[in-house]
Amino acid sequence: MNAEGSVTYEPKDTQDLTAFLENNKEKYHEIWIIITKKEFSNPQPVSFNEAVTLALAQGLVDSRTKSFDNRKYEIRLTKRKKEKKSV
């Protein structure tokens, strides 16, 4: 199955993010997760560390972040590249 381009998603909580990643990790080449900065939401719906931990559990890795607006930023998640076996 070929993955589509990308999707951006703002999870409500860690359970929501887990379900989204499970359902979409094969569908999209890259997933951008929107994270609210700590100073603008206490507690945060999903923290950076939680998002990365949940992504790793799904076989995804974070490769970069970028600003979304003054209160939020995005994390780019992609599939972990399979290691080539050396002979």
Give the tens place of pLDDT for each residue, 14-49.
999 999 999 999 999 999 999 999 999 988 999 999
What's the pLDDT at 87? 59
Residue 64 lies in a domain: yes
**What is the pLDDT averaged over residues 69-75?**
96
**What range defines the domain where residue 12 resides?**
4-79
Say how many CA atoms lie within 13 Å of 26 toward its Cβ: 3
Considering only CA atoms, which of 54, 48, 42, 63 is closest in space to residue 17? 54
Judge whether 84 lies within some domain.
Answer: no
- Residue 86 in any domain: the answer is no
Which CATH number is 43's domain given? 3.30.110
CA-wise closest residue to 54 among 9, 19, 4:
19
